[in-house]
Structure 1
């Protein structure tokens, strides 16, 4: 039977020229492409009340948390710094509940960009709210805009053998679109990779089936078949 991956949606917070005040939930199609091509079936989970998380996770075999807004520092007991961007406490609360439900049901979790940060916060870790003003040894550009999404721009330094061994080689290049980042890893998470200036780029916890990266593998799919392997490796974790 095909395994189902719940993909937590984002939602529009502001009126815009296309939808006006007809707010919508959505997920970028690149995530769906990566999941579908790996043989998994994506199911988009609309944002809702945290108490719905257990029921949603009962319908799926794994969870993917995608990119998006900054995470509110109230969830790691800090005040907002001047450099923080837009936050959405409703999304934060719901996704934290999804993480806890997935763990309770022993279902694999994949976090991408904001998703990596959200999992860390849900488990008791902290974040840099704004790298440019808070990270003292910042030496590379972590938000590559306006360079295109699919173009890798900075290198990784792998810290140990991990679930991505077959995908990533030493000094692998990745894309980068963030200004928040993991600061203190939550208990039980193990560091897999950093950027050349030391920012956390990947972590995992095989015992709890947690896998997370700071870059955007779904956008790298535009570069061809080798990048699909990232999602295929996660599909292997879900299949176990």
Structure 2
């Protein structure tokens, strides 16, 4: 059984349920997607970047999940006035994991924030806030309060890619983000865009890098076909 490493998120603020008993966690939906593809999910608690090699040694592939904004430090900018919360420890840990996974030639899947982390690790840049920085915006890219599992906007496939056997040329997906790819890192190929030309997916078959801006793990709650994306990724693992 193939093992997929999933770095965790963490609660860093006191809250009504846990108080100051801070916890690392990953949403159950990611676990369901990997398990549904007959692979074994292994959750990595956020840790020292020196642990990246040991973590990647222990798995066959890496999945990067959604979460906080990516710090603009990684693409040479100061924080925009509309930047949301960032997590320096999580950013550094995930960047180190991407670098190590590439060094070990192990496949990587990025979802939402995960797509953005891959792009900046490889030298790309982000819009820190689509609403105030992207002139062509005409689609609501954060569908809240609409439920997670409801598809709300279209993606348009840009070429034959790993997504071509899963999606029609124009398909509906869900959307929960306000950051997005601005400049795609060298070597990454554009696979899908929204109807207002925001990057929605990219890949690099030579390095087995795959990433989507939407949340297929949430679509799984109401659409069994969303499993096909996880199946396709696990099939890329040697």
Same fold (TM over 0.5): yes
What is the aligned partner in structure 1 of residue 93 from structure 2?
94
What is the aligned partner in structure 2 of residue 77 from structure 1?
76
What SS class does the counterpart of residue 223 from structure 1 fall into? coil
What is the aligned partner in structure 2 of residue 172 from structure 1?
171
What SS class does the counterpart of residue 96 from structure 2 fall into? helix
Q: Separation in 2 of the partners of 1:227 and 1:38?
A: 11
What is the aligned partner in structure 2 of residue 133 from structure 1?
132
What SS class does the counterpart of residue 62 from structure 2 fall into? strand
1:8-47 map, 5 Å:
8-47=7-46
Q: Separation in 2 of the partners of 1:200 and 1:53?
A: 28
Mapped contact 2:56–2:97 kept (Cα < 8 A): yes
What is the aligned partner in structure 1 of residue 53 from structure 2?
54
Q: Separation in 1 of the partners of 2:12 and 2:166?
A: 36
**Is 1:229 aligned with 2:228?**
yes
Structure 2 length-normalised TM: 0.99
**Is 1:182 aligned with 2:181?**
yes
What SS class does the counterpart of residue 201 from structure 2 fall into? strand
Which consecutive segments of 4 or more residues in structure 1 shift more than 6 A? none
What is the aligned partner in structure 1 of residue 114 from structure 2?
115
What is the aligned partner in structure 2 of residue 161 from structure 1?
160
Q: Separation in 2 of the partners of 1:190 and 1:164?
A: 12
Shift of 1:83: 0.7
Q: Separation in 2 of the partners of 1:199 and 1:84?
A: 18
Q: Separation in 2 of the partners of 1:190 and 1:22?
A: 42
Shift of 1:157: 1.0
Shift of 1:189: 0.4
Q: Separation in 2 of the partners of 1:132 and 1:225?
A: 32
Q: CA RMSD in A?
A: 0.6
Shift of 1:222: 1.4
What SS class does the counterpart of residue 29 from structure 2 fall into? helix
Shift of 1:151: 0.4
What SS class does the counterpart of residue 154 from structure 2 fall into? strand
Unaligned runs of 5+ in 2: none
Q: Separation in 1 of the partners of 2:182 and 2:155?
A: 17
Post-superposition Cα deviations, 1:48-85, rounded to whole Å, max 9, x if no partner, equal 01111011000000000000000110111001111110
Q: Separation in 1 of the partners of 2:184 and 2:145?
A: 30
What SS class does the counterpart of residue 212 from structure 1 fall into? strand
- Count residues with an aligned counterpart: 238
Shift of 1:224: 3.1
Shift of 1:226: 1.4
